Structure 1
C-alpha cells in the first residue's frame, strides 16, 4: 500500500494523523478524539488509529478522499488488505498448517480495520444524517445466549448491533491451556517472589496480564483473601485470592519489593528503572526468558489464565460463577472453556458407551 506521506502521532490531546495530506482526513482526528471522550481504552484508540491510517494511506495512493468512498471502494480496500504482505514476515512460500500464508494479514486484523472504518463513517452519519454510510449492514451480532432475552433481568441485556456483511470469515479457536506438568514446570522456573506472585495470580486467580500490572497495594486484601480487579472496559470485580498466592505476595511485600513512591503492587527491582511500575513490555520479557529456560513454548501469560478457566470447567463450576471470576462481559466467551473439559467429556463418553454395551 502507498504510504501517502501520512503517519500517526500521539499528542497531549490524543492520537492524530500527521504529515503531508493529513488535512484531507481531519475526520479521522475528530473520530479518535470522540473515542477518547467516550472512555475507550487507549490501546483501542491507538489500534483504530493505525487501522484508519492504513485506510487513509490507501485512499491517498488511489487519489481519493473520504467523501468519495462507497461500497465498491471498500471492497477494493479489503482486497488490497488481503493481498498486502506484512513487513518482516517470511516470504510467500511459508504457510501455516491451515494453508494460510504467513506473510498475509490475518482475517481478524482485516475485520478490525473494517470495524474502524465502519465506526468512522457511523460517526460521520451521526454528525450529518445526510451523509450515507458506505458500510453495508448484515445480520445482528449475537450478544446474548439462548434464553437470555427473557426473564427478570432481560431489560439489562445489551442491545445487539449489526455486523457488516463485508466481514471475513475467521476461525474460532479454543483457548490453549497448559497441562498440569507444564504449568508446574513453568512456575518452578520463577525464582523471585515477585515473578512467582505474578504467575500465581494468573494461574490460580485467572487474572489477565494487564489486570495483574494494574493492581495496587490497596487492591490486595491478604487477610481477607480478596482482590479488587479492574478489567476490560474499566469493569471492576472482586476475585478470591488463593491462599498460597497470598503468602507469596506477603513475602514479596516484606522482603523484596523496593522502596518506591508508586502505589502499584509489582515494581521493577533492578536496573535504571528500579522503583518504577512493571510494564507490559517488562512482563513479556520475563515470560520470554522463562519460556526459554523451562522449554515450555506455550508458556505465555494468557495460557496461565486459560489453564485456570479450564480447571474451573473440569471441576464443574457453574458457568455464571466462571464468568464472574474471569471477568467476561458475555457468557459466550466463558462457554468456550466448557469445550475444554476433556476429563469430564471422556467420563461422560465412557459412561454412555458402557450403557450402550450393557443393553441386551
Structure 2
C-alpha cells in the first residue's frame, strides 16, 4: 500500500451514514459500507457475496465463510459477524423484494457488482459525504484501527483482516494520540 486510505473518525462515520440515508439505494449502500467498516471486508469480498453466504432460512449467520475464489490471495477465510452487523444485514435482506439464495447479495441496474464497482461506489459515498482522502479501503482501515484503539491485539486483528503477514496488518492500523496518551498512563 503506497498512499494509505484515510481512517475515519466517529464523526466521519456519522457523516457517511447520514449521507447514505438520503440515497435512493440507502439500504444496499449502508450494508456495503457496514461490511467494510464493521467486518473489514475487502471490495472483492463484498462483491463476491451471495445471499446464501450470509443467511440460511432468512436468518443472518454469525459467520460468513468465504471460499478461496471470493478472497484476495486465494485463501478461504471466516468472517465473524457482530450483533451490530447482523442487524444491518437483516435489515438489508428484508429490503430485497425478490431474493434467491444463489443470487449476488448486491446488485445494481447493470447486474451484480464487481470489485471495481464496489470501489467506485464507496469512493462516491465518501465524496458525497465530504470526506477527503477516503477510499474503498477506508472502512477496512477504520475497522483495524478501531479494534487496536479498544486494546485488541495485533494477532487477532491480523486474523480478522485475513492477512498472511502481521507486517501487512501493522500497515493498516493507525496510531492515534489517544492511544499514546493511554499507553503512558499505564506506567
TM > 0.5 fold call: yes
**Following superposition of structure 1 onto structure 2, how do residues 326-341 of structure 1 map, counting pairs within 5 Å?**
326-337=161-172, 340-341=175-176
Counterpart Cα distance in 2 of 1:224 and 1:178: 27
- Residue equivalent to 1:209: 43
CA distance in 2, matches of 1:292, 1:306: 17
Could you tell me whether the CA contact under 8 Å between 2:46 and 2:118 is conserved in 1?
no
Q: CA deviation at 1:344?
A: 2.0
- 1:235 is displaced (CA, Å) by 0.8
Q: Does 1:346 align with 2:181?
A: yes
Give the paired residue count: 177
TM-score, length basis structure 1: 0.44
User: Structure 1 174/340 Cα, relative in aligned 2: closer, same or farther at 3 Å?
Assistant: farther
Higher normalized contact order (CA 8 Å, seq sep 6+, divided by chain length) = 2
Gaps of 5+ in 2: none
Q: Which residue number corresponds to residue 252 of structure 1?
A: 92
Partners of 2:103 and 2:86 in 1: CA distance: 18
The answer as to whether partners of 2:52 and 2:102 remain within 8 angstroms in 1 is: no
The answer to whether the Cα contact below 8 Å between 1:175 and 1:336 also exists between their aligned partners in 2 is no
- How large is the Cα RMSD of the aligned pairs? 2.6
Choose from 180, 186, 194 the match for 2:28: 194
Inter-partner Cα distance in structure 2 for 1:292 and 1:339: 22
State the 1:302 CA deviation. Answer: 0.4
Structure 1 unaligned blocks of 5 or more: 1-107, 109-171, 353-360
The separation in 1 between residues aligned to 2:164 and 2:5, in whole angstroms, is 17
Instruction: Render the CA deviation track for 1:70-115: whole Å, top value 9, x for unaligned.
Output: xxxxxxxxxxxxxxxxxxxxxxxxxxxxxxxxxxxxxx9xxxxxxx
Question: Given that residues 178 and 298 in structure 1 are in contact (C-alpha distance below 8 angstroms), is that contact kept between their aligned partners in structure 2?
Answer: no
Cα distance change, pair 255–173 in 1 and its aligned pair in 2 (3 A): closer
Moved more, 337-346 or 286-295: 337-346
| Counterpart pick for 1:243 among 79, 83, 92 | 83
Verify the 8 A CA contact 1:186 1:299 in the aligned structure 2: no
Q: Determine which of 158, 181, 185 is the counterpart of 2:15.
A: 185
Matches within 5 A, 1:83-98: none
State the match for 1:225 in structure 2: 62
2: CA distance between counterparts of 1:261 and 1:320? 34
1:194 to partner: Cα distance: 0.9
Give the structure with higher Rg (CA). Answer: 1
8 Å contact kept, 1:267–1:278: yes
